[in-house]
């Protein structure tokens, strides 16, 4: 472009509102990079649009309003005022639109506010459309965030309720506590047990046994009192278990005032022994 041909003010306003086509926008961009006058005018247009956009309350426009706006802008751009189609005089300055095929005579310079005012309504509407879109996106982001936070709160509430139930069960006085162990794969015989009740002052002894294993013929179990003073074990009676493994030794003849360190049971020949035969198969103290 030559220095005497500039972009029309209406085209600069449409460019500022991003309402031009891709090719037209490229033409304006290329021109303002080399034309200081059009660049200055574009800056003024953008400033005026910003002022108008901030002097109204923002309300989201409907889809029908946006469609009417775009159709009106397209129609306004194509119309050419009759008074501006006069033949230019020789020697006068020229300005051309984006097509560059026609020229018009320079008009008397008007204030920038009066030049841009016809486009103010469209600028405000365009600003409202952009603002409404931004508000809608922000609302959707906020709604998604609230939904996600509500889900997290539900999970936390469920965790707290479960923890409270666990604590209540562990501290309930009516709860039954049961210890479980691994069941044996094969039956195991019960362990032989014996309980001795001894009164040293009187030499009184009561011994009860259970789960005792059967003995071979001519064998007998013998109970022994092992003194605490280190003397040799004292025989405390012999016994045979019955068919269920139960046996007892009740009040065997024992000396008085003998402190017992322990009691033991051995297997002896029939009739018993005065000295225990190892091993001692049962012992307790």
Lowest mean pLDDT segment, chosen from 75-84, 131-140, 203-212: 75-84
Lowest mean pLDDT segment, chosen from 72-86, 114-128, 138-152, 259-273: 72-86
* Contact assessment for residue 93 and residue 109, using Cβ atoms and an 8 Å cutoff: no
Query: Rounded CA gap, 88 and 154, in Å?
Result: 77
DSSP-derived 3-state class of residue 52: helix
Q: pLDDT category, 119, cuts 50, 70, 90?
A: low
Query: Is pLDDT above 90 for 223?
Result: yes
CA angle, corner 44, sides to 24 and 105, nearest 5? 65
Q: pLDDT category, 118, cuts 50, 70, 90?
A: low
Which range has the top average pLDDT, 33-47, 182-196, 240-254? 240-254
Residue 272 belongs to a domain: yes
13 and 137 together in one domain: yes
120 and 236 together in one domain: no
Residue 120 belongs to a domain: yes
- Residues 6 or more apart from 232 whose CB is under 8 A from it? 275
Helix (H) / strand (E) containing 187: none
Greater confidence, 135 or 44? 44
Query: What DSSP assignment string belongs to 106-130?
Result: PPPP--HHHHHHHHHHHHHHHHHHH
Residue 172 belongs to a domain: no
End position of a domain, from candidates 120, 141, 162: 141
Query: Rounded CA gap, 271 and 219, in Å?
Result: 8
Query: What's the confidence (pLDDT) of residue 1?
Result: 39
The whole-chain average pLDDT of the chain stands at 76
Q: Write down the pTM of the prediction.
A: 0.39
Residue 164 belongs to a domain: no
Whether residue 235 is preceded by a cis peptide bond, meaning omega within 30 degrees of 0, is no
Residue 114 belongs to a domain: yes
Instruction: Write out pLDDT tens, residues 81-116.
Output: 444 434 444 444 444 445 444 444 444 444 444 555
The CATH number of the domain where 221 resides is what?
2.60.40
131 and 43 together in one domain: yes
Average pLDDT of the segment spanning 191-214:
92
Q: pLDDT category, 12, cuts 50, 70, 90?
A: confident
112 and 197 together in one domain: no
* Domain limits for position 19: 9-141
Which range has the top average pLDDT, 87-96, 129-138, 203-212? 203-212
Q: Which percentage of the chain shows pLDDT scores above 90?
A: 31
Residue 14 belongs to a domain: yes
Helices (H), strands (E): how many in the chain?
5, 9
Residue 223 belongs to a domain: yes
42 and 104 together in one domain: yes
End position of a domain, from candidates 107, 141, 175: 141
Q: Which percentage of the chain shows pLDDT scores above 70?
A: 67
Interior/surface letters 41-58, b for 16+ CB within 10 angstroms, e for the rest: bbebbbebbeebbeeeee
Instruction: Write out pLDDT tens, residues 19-75.
Output: 788 888 898 898 888 898 898 888 888 877 776 665 655 555 556 656 666 666 666
Residue 2 belongs to a domain: no
- Residues 6 or more apart from 212 whose CB is under 8 A from it? 192, 221, 241, 245, 246, 247
Residue 237 backbone phi and psi in degrees, to 5: 115, 150
DSSP-derived 3-state class of residue 244: coil
99 and 203 together in one domain: no
Number of structural domains in the chain: 2
Helix (H) / strand (E) containing 199: strand 193-199
End position of a domain, from candidates 79, 111, 141: 141
Return the axis-axis angle of helices 22-34 and 9-16, rounded to nearest 10°: 110
């Amino acid at each position: 472009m030559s220095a005497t041909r500039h972009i029309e003010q209406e085209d600069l306003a449409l460019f500022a509102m991003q309402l031009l086509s891709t090719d037209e926008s490229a033409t304006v961009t290329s021109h303002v990079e080399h034309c200081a006058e059009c660049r200055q005018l574009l800056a003024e247009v953008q400033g005026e649009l910003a002022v108008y956009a901030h002097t109204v309350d923002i309300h989201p426009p409907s889809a029908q309003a946006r469609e009417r706006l775009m159709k009106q802008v397209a129609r306004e751009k194509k119309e050419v005022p009759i008074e501006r189609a006069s033949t230019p005089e020789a020697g006068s300055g020229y300005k051309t639109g984006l097509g560059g095929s026609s020229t018009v005579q320079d008009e008397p310079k008007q204030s920038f506010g009066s030049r841009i005012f016809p486009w103010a309504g469209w600028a405000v509407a365009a600003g409202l459309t952009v603002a409404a879109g931004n508000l809608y996106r922000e609302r959707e982001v906020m709604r998604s965030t609230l939904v996600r936070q509500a889900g997290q709160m539900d999970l936390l509430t469920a965790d707290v309720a479960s923890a409270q139930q666990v604590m209540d069960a562990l501290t309930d006085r009516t709860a039954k506590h049961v210890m479980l162990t691994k069941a044996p794969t094969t039956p195991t015989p019960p362990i032989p047990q014996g309980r001795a009740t001894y009164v040293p002052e009187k030499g009184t002894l009561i011994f009860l046994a259970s789960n005792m294993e059967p003995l071979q013929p001519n064998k007998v179990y013998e109970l022994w009192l092992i003194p605490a003073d280190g003397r040799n074990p004292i025989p405390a009676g012999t016994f045979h278990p019955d068919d269920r493994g139960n046996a007892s030794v009740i009040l065997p003849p024992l000396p008085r005032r003998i402190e017992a360190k322990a009691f033991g049971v051995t297997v002896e020949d029939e009739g018993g022994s005065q000295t225990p035969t190892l091993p001692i198969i049962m012992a307790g103290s």
